[in-house]
Structure 1
Amino acid sequence: MAMGLFRVCLVVVTAIINHPLLFPRENATVPENEEEIIRKMQEHQEKLQMEQLRLEEEVSRLEAEEEVLWPVEEEDQQQQQPEAQTTWDLWSTLCMIFFLIIEVWRQDHQGGTFPECLGGDEDEVSGLEGPPLRGLPLPNRATLDHFYECCIRSATGDATRTREFVEGFVDDLLEALRSIYSRNTDMETEDFIGVGSMYENWQAERPLLCHLFVPFIPPEPYSFHPEFWCTSPSMPLEHQGYGQIKVTLADGNPIGCICDKTKLEDMVCLLHDNNIGAWPSSAESSELEGLLCSRESSYLDGMQVMKWFQVALTRAWHRISHKYEFDLSFGELDTPGSLKIRFRSGNSMPFILTPVIQCNDSDLYFMMSQLPKEPCGGAPASSTDWLLSFAVYERQFLQMTARTLPEGACHLSCLQIASFLLSKQTNHTGPSGLNDYHLKTALLHLLLSRQAADWKASQLDVRLQELFRFLERSLLEKKLYHFFVGNRRLSEAVGLPEAVRRAEPLNLFRPFVLQRTLYRNTVDFFYEMLKNAPMFISEYSVHVPSDRTSPPPKAVAL
């Protein structure tokens, strides 16, 4: 019995240690500076194997003694059996604890949180200096400067005119939407807010794409009450970064009729009979509540909202279409609010109008994520789950930081070049788990960690390599923390809600822990992108002068 228990314990410990969800082993590439740690772990493994052999010999010896002493009196056996059972239970427990301690120690050294992700001091980011771990060369500064001037700056030269045109048209479109607004059966839209790379001045690719938030509020007597994951302990782990929006009446009660809440003795409810229940049967109320929620929930339904928004935009466009010499149509079906202007010349101009809900009095907004699951960190399946967007805070942080940086700072140039390379590699090999938001998150961490003088224009090549090294380490450790969630080094002047500042850090690379194939493909994609970087840059550049002292580019001021 004791031997069986001991073996079962060893099997359990071995299964725990080798379980891929707890201790993934798919990191085939290990940084060179951890060779000493690997050597020590191998020594520990050898010691454990020797200890296992010693224990097996001890077990064999005890079994032999038991066979010799078998013909003992029954009373002595009954007295010794509890002692033996206790001894083996103790050995099993100690072995299990010993194995777990060793494995936890190993994980702390191999996969521990690196301080750069949370915005460490300058000394902490000094470990990123030097070439990428695989020694893949990136172009020198003269090449990057010339490439930036020839390709990226020229591609974004029309950004101001594009923004002005789109904003003017959207103003007219929303005004038409408000003119057909019904106070009793429609949402009320507010002024749009520009977000994303076009408004942060780092979009590198054509076509130039404006992304506009359109906040909306429900008509009276309804109100929205946001609930996001860090304020609701009951939300599951996969809902991190998301929230739900409860729809209530003005008195704070959930949607429903007063006959559900009050004893009606001599009165009859004109909206309900005994067979209908709590949902209003009047055409007006049913239409509005069907617009907000599904019939089984009191939470705002994103699919219902998108249906309303698309119908409202269509009606508004039909009202003003005679004033314009172009057509308006919906764009990508998997992107909510994607629209496209088609000119008679055949050219088109895409832009995105996203309906959002403001989170209390902050600059946080709930928005619908892309309809299909994204490669990295797919959205929850429920249509009542809304993605919490920090886009306004990101724009404000970049604006505040730009005021402290040297003139012509290279931070946006780094992000533009990295985004350009990511786009070209995606076109070449298909999508991966990396996207522009990961690039921007890495840059924000570096901006918080580096001195302002480190972002001089002459440091473009150094900072770009540092950005890629940061991403490389994040991929190897499967940890890239959200810049705002749980980042206590951020100044209170940023204005984040206290619940978000004090929440547990949100790992944007968490899906890599669970999806081995996605992780492996993303790592291969990343190194392939670095390998192809010189080719992409030379392909889109003309002859580069050999003078390395050529004037550096100036990033567009915020």
Structure 2
Amino acid sequence: MQALRGGAAGEGAAEAGSVPFLKGSALLLLGCLLARCCGAAGGGPRPGGVRAAGAAGSRRSALETFYARQLRLSPHVLGHSKAHVGRVVAELVRAAKAQGLQPGPLALSLRGDFVRIGSAYEQHKVRSPDCFDILVPLRLPPHLEPQPRRADGLGPHGAFVCGLRARAGWPRRYRPFAEGFCVELQGRSHLSSGLVLRWFQGHLQRCLGAVRYRLQERCRISLSACPGRLPTLHILPCSDYVCCHISMSVRLIPAIPLGDALYLTALPPEGPQAPPAPEALWGLNASRQEQRLLSWLKEQAPASSCHLKCLQILKGLRDLRRQGLEEPFCSQWGQVLSSYVLKTALFSLLLQGPLDAWDERFLVERLEDLVLYLRDCLRKQVLMHFFLGNASLPEAVALPRFLKEAAPVNLLAAFDGPTLDLAAFQLINTWFQAPHIIRMYSSPRYLRPALTPCRHVAEARQEPLGE
């Protein structure tokens, strides 16, 4: 009826009726907004919040699946591998020490022990327990003193280098040793890492025969040694001895003890095509201090802390992203974001905030913090070595005086600005596109191979999933 009256009233009446219509529409819109706000205030979900929560849940699901299927190691298999490596290396070191014993200070010899280092022994190794690093300490004659050389501008950038210089008045009876293992630098004799490495390789090769015979029922072993490269021990367990049939490679690293669980090791080449590092210089290895810090963090952090899991996932994403990069940046990507750089960034971030924030339920947030922190370091072109000259370490992690007094070293000093900027861009892009990159670059060749069941499977199933 109202519509009929409005139609009969003509144009003027219709124009006058438009005002109440607009007011009614405005009131209706305002009512809808108030209802939505009241619903949100009362705990009702908001459309935007639902989408954000769904995206976060999808990201976490992708990362958890990636970790479980491609990165996480079975504690059972890792434990078997480490035990087998330890037995084989102990046999080789024992034989090498016995054959190297000579009276007098005129030759090198092994100290008789070995030091397990690297991710396999720090609980953040990924994919497969098939590669291990072992330090083999050597005995040296007296009258060799460490001499840090970073201030002289020698050696590669981003590395702490040190010389082992003969003291003044080197006795004549040490001359055969000096002629066999030393080189001249600035008019003084310095222990040559190249000559020591060459002796170490030959010495192990000579001892391998006897060790291979004693271990023939357990495994087949061989040693590969290229000039200027660390010797690698290859172990293939026999099927009737070890239940987890994984061929393993062990890098044997000759190490010069400095005391306080510090060692000097030969500097690796800066790249596949780079010339060898100066023979008179050695690199510093503080792996034992890193292990002590990780042990302290394990005690202080929640039992369900995800800091090592974050490191493993970031290493896995780095490796996947490399598949889509072209040279020369593909090689630079792995060098800039080396496992040591990622671990150093994690250490620095862990000590900046409360360790309770690293509980497992905050995995995605903490992983994003780590990515952003590392992104900022790359943009600023600065990531300092964690132990050299670091005065902010917890008192519970006691450092040797040699480390406390050492000059700080920037781990990113070897790379130019454009390379680091590109790495920062690719890193943040990798994080934003993580689920897509996992789907795109994951393939069966990255998956852990199925292991042969053994009598320890029941024990393995009872072990906790976290490492």
Same fold (TM over 0.5): yes
1:473 is aligned to 2:376? yes
Shift, 1:235, TM fit: 5.5
Can you list the C-alpha shifts for 1:496-530, whole angstroms capped at 9, x where unaligned? Answer: 23353254432111223xx3454355345434533
- Unaligned runs of 5+ residues in structure 2 are 1-54, 240-244, 445-463
Can you list the C-alpha shifts for 1:45-87, whole angstroms capped at 9, x where unaligned? Answer: xxxxxxxxxxxxxxxxxxxxxxxxxxxxxxxxxxxxxxxxxxx
Shift, 1:159, TM fit: 1.2
Which of 427, 432, 436 is matched with 1:535 structurally? 436
Query: Do the aligned residues in 2 keep the contact of 1:290 with 1:304 (CA within 8 Å)?
Result: no
Aligned residues: 372
Can you list the C-alpha shifts for 1:84-129, whole angstroms capped at 9, x where unaligned? Answer: xxxxxxxxxxxxxxxxxxxxxxxxxxxxxxxxxxxxxxxxxxxxxx
Which of 263, 271, 282 is matched with 1:365 structurally? 263
Query: In the alignment, what sits opposite 2:232?
Result: 338
* Structure-1-length-normalised TM-score: 0.60
Query: Do the aligned residues in 2 keep the contact of 1:408 with 1:554 (CA within 8 Å)?
Result: no
Shift, 1:405, TM fit: 1.0
- Output the CA distance in 2 between the equivalents of 1:384 and 1:371: 14
1:290 is aligned to 2:179? yes
1:224 is aligned to 2:122? no
- Output the CA distance in 2 between the equivalents of 1:473 and 1:356: 34
SS of residue matched to 1:495: coil
Which of 208, 231, 244 is matched with 2:163 structurally? 244
SS of residue matched to 1:384: coil
1:392 is aligned to 2:288? yes
* Structure-2-length-normalised TM-score: 0.71
Shift, 1:224, TM fit: 2.8
The one-letter amino acid of 1:257's match is R
| Percent identity for Structure 1 against Structure 2 | 25
Shift, 1:427, TM fit: 4.3
Query: In the alignment, what sits opposite 1:453?
Result: 356
Query: In the alignment, what sits opposite 2:398?
Result: 495
- Output the CA distance in 1 between the equivalents of 2:57 and 2:98: 55
Query: In the alignment, what sits opposite 1:257?
Result: 172
Query: Do the aligned residues in 2 keep the contact of 1:238 with 1:380 (CA within 8 Å)?
Result: no
- Unaligned runs of 5+ residues in structure 1 are 1-135, 259-278, 543-552
Query: In the alignment, what sits opposite 2:110?
Result: 189
Query: In the alignment, what sits opposite 1:414?
Result: 310
Shift, 1:410, TM fit: 0.3
Query: Do the aligned residues in 2 keep the contact of 1:369 with 1:379 (CA within 8 Å)?
Result: no
- Output the CA distance in 1 between the equivalents of 2:145 and 2:272: 27
Which of 326, 334, 343 is matched with 1:440 structurally? 343
Query: In the alignment, what sits opposite 1:140?
Result: 59
- Output the CA distance in 1 between the equivalents of 2:254 and 2:81: 21
- Output the CA distance in 1 between the equivalents of 2:422 and 2:226: 25
- Output the CA distance in 2 between the equivalents of 1:254 and 1:310: 31
Distance 1:411 1:196, change over 3 A: same
Shift, 1:465, TM fit: 0.6
Query: Do the aligned residues in 1 keep the contact of 2:73 with 2:127 (CA within 8 Å)?
Result: no
- Output the CA distance in 1 between the equivalents of 2:182 and 2:318: 39
Query: Do the aligned residues in 2 keep the contact of 1:487 with 1:502 (CA within 8 Å)?
Result: no
Query: In the alignment, what sits opposite 1:202?
Result: 124
Higher RCO, Cα 8 Å, sep 6+: 1
Shift, 1:182, TM fit: 3.2
Query: In the alignment, what sits opposite 1:403?
Result: 299
- Output the CA distance in 2 between the equivalents of 1:139 and 1:194: 38
Moved more, 162-171 or 323-332: 323-332
Query: Do the aligned residues in 2 keep the contact of 1:156 with 1:203 (CA within 8 Å)?
Result: no
SS of residue matched to 1:158: helix
1:351 is aligned to 2:272? no
Shift, 1:214, TM fit: 1.0
Can you list the C-alpha shifts for 1:435-454, whole angstroms capped at 9, x where unaligned? Answer: 11111001001111121211
Distance 1:379 1:203, change over 3 A: farther
- Output the CA distance in 1 between the equivalents of 2:56 and 2:276: 39
- Output the CA distance in 1 between the equivalents of 2:266 and 2:195: 11
Query: What is the root-mean-square deviation in Å for CA atoms of aligned residues?
Result: 3.2
The one-letter amino acid of 1:498's match is R
Query: In the alignment, what sits opposite 1:555?
Result: 466
- Output the CA distance in 1 between the equivalents of 2:163 and 2:306: 39
